[in-house]
Structure 1
Amino acid sequence: MRADRLVSMVLLLRQHGQLSAAALARELEVSTRTVLRDIEALSAAGVPVYAERGRHGGFALLPGFRTELTGLNHDEALALLVAGSRRGAQTFGLAPALASAMRKVVDALPESYRATAADAAERLLIDPETDLLARRLTPEEVPDAVAAEVRRAVFAGHKLRIHYAAADQPAQWRTIDPIGLVTARGQAYLLATRSGADRTYRLSRILAAQELDEPAQRPDRVDLGRAWQERSTRFRTGGDQVTVRLRLHPSRRGELAGTALAILTEEPDADDWLMLEATFQDSRHAEWALWQLATQAEALAPQWLRTALHDRATAMAARYRADE
């Protein structure tokens, strides 16, 4: 237990630079007397820890002791932080850095651990490229140069100039204040503000990017999870949403729930089917979602959706009509 606590103390000092005995005691959940004894033990073991006297004093490590034993550079360390999602590293342009970092990590392992870790890694497959139905999960492609420029602006806190192609619109240059990067379901997004208003940009639609020298207008700290949730909520509740009344075979309910913005009402219908009301982002989203369900769903309202699906099915039938 004490060995673990000593390692934790070194890591705390490395991360925070300087901490008082009281702060270390709170972090380690021990008494200040125990902290002082541990500091003495570290010094006796050759760890260069020293005390700063005075009201704002505390304990710190000599700067030379902060050398990274693994030799990881900035991008490699960053890649490890997002390595929980391999596709996330790929999307943000960090795949080469991740591979390099992992080689260094393996090389730093003690010989006795290296073979065990390699064997265990062979028995884990995380986030494969296809699911059980052999559907390929392909993340959006983002040029490395664009991803690198966006990353630099986000981390440096600088304004960013992007050449952005919004859906169904010609590409335009715009200057924004970047806040953070988010990856969701294989797609990467840049959260930013423009003239003080919240904006969300798909990285795959950024054709070019340029980090500017001017500081970005943004808060020093951000809760990215909360910001993403708030923007997701505004996206789902705003815009040209469409409410659809439909009949659905129960076997496809999960698919509808994963596609629609929300299922508003649900009750049993004849032939063990379901009668539902669901909302979609817009008319195109509604038509696409109902088309995916084929004959196991029937749109009852609005009428324009029934007409659109009828016309699409008629055109498809004509395309594949057998030659007379």
Structure 2
Amino acid sequence: MRADRLVSIVLLLRRHDRLSAPALARELEVSTRTVLRDIEALSAAGVPVYAERGRHGGFALLPGFRTELTDLSHDEALALLIAGSRRGTQVFGLGSALASAMRKVVDALPEGNRATAAGAVQRLLVDPATDLLSRGQAGEEVPDPIAAEVRRAVFAGHKLRIHYAAADQAPKWRTVDPIGLVTVRGLGYLLATRDGADRTYRLSRILAAEALAEPAQRPDRVDLDRAWQERGTRFRAGGDQVVVLARVNPTRREDLVGTALAVLAEEADVDGWLRLEVSFQDARHAEWALWQLGTNAEALTPQWLRISLHDRAAAIVARYG
């Protein structure tokens, strides 16, 4: 919205003293021409903004100018509530709202605290894209218009029509009753019901969305944490699950448990290793998980898994032998 953008320009100029039109355009993710039009609108509205020419020129506000612009919009408040997760703001389409909200927060600080706050921000990095081993973290971008429509239906309690592309299926239109939104490791999910049955949709697979006027059929209150756990339990109980009995070096226990669906039993073995009964989504999942542990784990059952791991190891030996 243009009004929010005009407010953001004033806050940016207050924070940085002077900014060029290209710099403002980058901050606001608009064109330089749009920034120039906005500057003209601010000037016409009586905001004392002026231009300085030259190599280090740009736009600035007259010294001492201040106005009360720190009221938060609905989306900005939501962004702050989930600001602890950078990916959450992106998954739910609230990234720009968070940036705008933080500018307002900084502007609301006492004069002497602004520089301190700006310096502190430079010394914090939350949830980077890769870890120390340069392994990419899971994450998906959801187009802002789609995220906005989904949010609107969830918060207003209205039915939602989505064009959804399920895995290995052609996209189809569905009308659902939205319950809530969940983000896990950078992946966003819509919890909903369809024809009274629980459904979970990946936000990144929603190709189009439309919030309808019809009220959703859903309870007034919901425990999202419990609902997510229940759906996770049902998911893990389905499919072609595989149960594996394995011996594991205690130093690698968490690596195995972290990839398994569930730990069904656990006990210490006579040599200090652990004997774990764990479940995996399918045969490929089980083989991959045990292979990652190398000689720090041994699959005891099922026999086909032992044979598969043996054949894979033999192939490696043959390649480098």
Normalised to the residue count of structure 1, the TM-score between the two structures is 0.70
State which drifts further: 198-207 or 181-190: 198-207
Instruction: After superposition, give the CA deviation of every residue in 1:10-47 in whole Å (9 maximum; x if it has no partner).
Output: xxxxxxxxxxxxxxxxxxxxxxxxxxxxxxxxxxxxxx
Tell me the equivalent position of 2:114. Answer: 114
Tell me the equivalent position of 1:274. Answer: 274
| Inter-partner Cα distance in structure 1 for 2:163 and 2:315 | 37
| Inter-partner Cα distance in structure 2 for 1:140 and 1:250 | 34
Is residue 130 from structure 1 mapped to residue 165 from structure 2 by the alignment? Answer: no
Tell me the equivalent position of 1:253. Answer: 253
| Inter-partner Cα distance in structure 2 for 1:284 and 1:100 | 45
Is residue 290 from structure 1 mapped to residue 321 from structure 2 by the alignment? Answer: no
Tell me the equivalent position of 1:60. Answer: none
State which drifts further: 278-287 or 75-84: 278-287
> What is the percentage of aligned positions where both structures have the same residue?
75
Are residues 264 and 141 of structure 1, via their aligned partners in 2, closer, same or farther at CA, if it must alter by over 3 Å? same
Q: CA deviation at 1:246?
A: 1.5
State which drifts further: 254-263 or 303-312: 303-312
Q: CA deviation at 1:69?
A: 5.2
Instruction: After superposition, give the CA deviation of every residue in 1:155-200 in whole Å (9 maximum; x if it has no partner).
Output: 2222112222223333322211111100112211110001111111
Q: CA deviation at 1:152?
A: 1.6
Are residues 125 and 208 of structure 1, via their aligned partners in 2, closer, same or farther at CA, if it must alter by over 3 Å? same
**Aligned-partner residue type, residue 148 of structure 1:** A
Tell me the equivalent position of 1:65. Answer: none
Instruction: After superposition, give the CA deviation of every residue in 1:36-85 in whole Å (9 maximum; x if it has no partner).
Output: xxxxxxxxxxxxxxxxxxxxxxxxxxxxxxxx951332222221121121
Are residues 317 and 194 of structure 1, via their aligned partners in 2, closer, same or farther at CA, if it must alter by over 3 Å? farther
The answer (yes or no) to whether the contact 2:267–2:276 under 8 Å persists in 1 is yes
Tell me the equivalent position of 1:205. Answer: 205
| Inter-partner Cα distance in structure 2 for 1:119 and 1:77 | 23
**Aligned counterparts, 1:39-188, within 5 A:** 70-188=70-188
Could you say what secondary structure the match of 1:278 adopts? strand
In structure 2, list runs of 5 or more residues that go unmatched.
1-67
| Inter-partner Cα distance in structure 2 for 1:305 and 1:284 | 10
Are residues 101 and 297 of structure 1, via their aligned partners in 2, closer, same or farther at CA, if it must alter by over 3 Å? same
Tell me the equivalent position of 1:231. Answer: 231
Q: CA deviation at 1:298?
A: 2.5
Tell me the equivalent position of 1:193. Answer: 193
**Aligned-partner residue type, residue 183 of structure 1:** T
Instruction: After superposition, give the CA deviation of every residue in 1:286-314 in whole Å (9 maximum; x if it has no partner).
Output: 23322332343232221233344455556
Are residues 313 and 168 of structure 1, via their aligned partners in 2, closer, same or farther at CA, if it must alter by over 3 Å? farther
**Aligned-partner residue type, residue 294 of structure 2:** A
**Aligned-partner residue type, residue 119 of structure 2:** D
| Inter-partner Cα distance in structure 2 for 1:311 and 1:170 | 37
Are residues 249 and 189 of structure 1, via their aligned partners in 2, closer, same or farther at CA, if it must alter by over 3 Å? same
Are residues 152 and 298 of structure 1, via their aligned partners in 2, closer, same or farther at CA, if it must alter by over 3 Å? same
Number of aligned positions between the proteins: 254
Could you say what secondary structure the match of 1:133 adopts? coil
Instruction: After superposition, give the CA deviation of every residue in 1:274-295 in whole Å (9 maximum; x if it has no partner).
Output: 3221112333332332233234
Instruction: After superposition, give the CA deviation of every residue in 1:199-253 in whole Å (9 maximum; x if it has no partner).
Output: 1111122222222222211122222222222222333344443210122222211
**Aligned-partner residue type, residue 87 of structure 1:** R
Q: CA deviation at 1:269?
A: 4.1
State which drifts further: 240-249 or 123-132: 123-132
Are residues 125 and 223 of structure 1, via their aligned partners in 2, closer, same or farther at CA, if it must alter by over 3 Å? same
Are residues 205 and 293 of structure 1, via their aligned partners in 2, closer, same or farther at CA, if it must alter by over 3 Å? farther
| Inter-partner Cα distance in structure 2 for 1:315 and 1:144 | 48
Could you say what secondary structure the match of 2:231 adopts? helix
Is residue 218 from structure 1 mapped to residue 215 from structure 2 by the alignment? Answer: no
Are residues 291 and 146 of structure 1, via their aligned partners in 2, closer, same or farther at CA, if it must alter by over 3 Å? farther
| Inter-partner Cα distance in structure 1 for 2:130 and 2:312 | 29
The answer (yes or no) to whether the contact 2:79–2:94 under 8 Å persists in 1 is yes
| Inter-partner Cα distance in structure 1 for 2:270 and 2:187 | 39
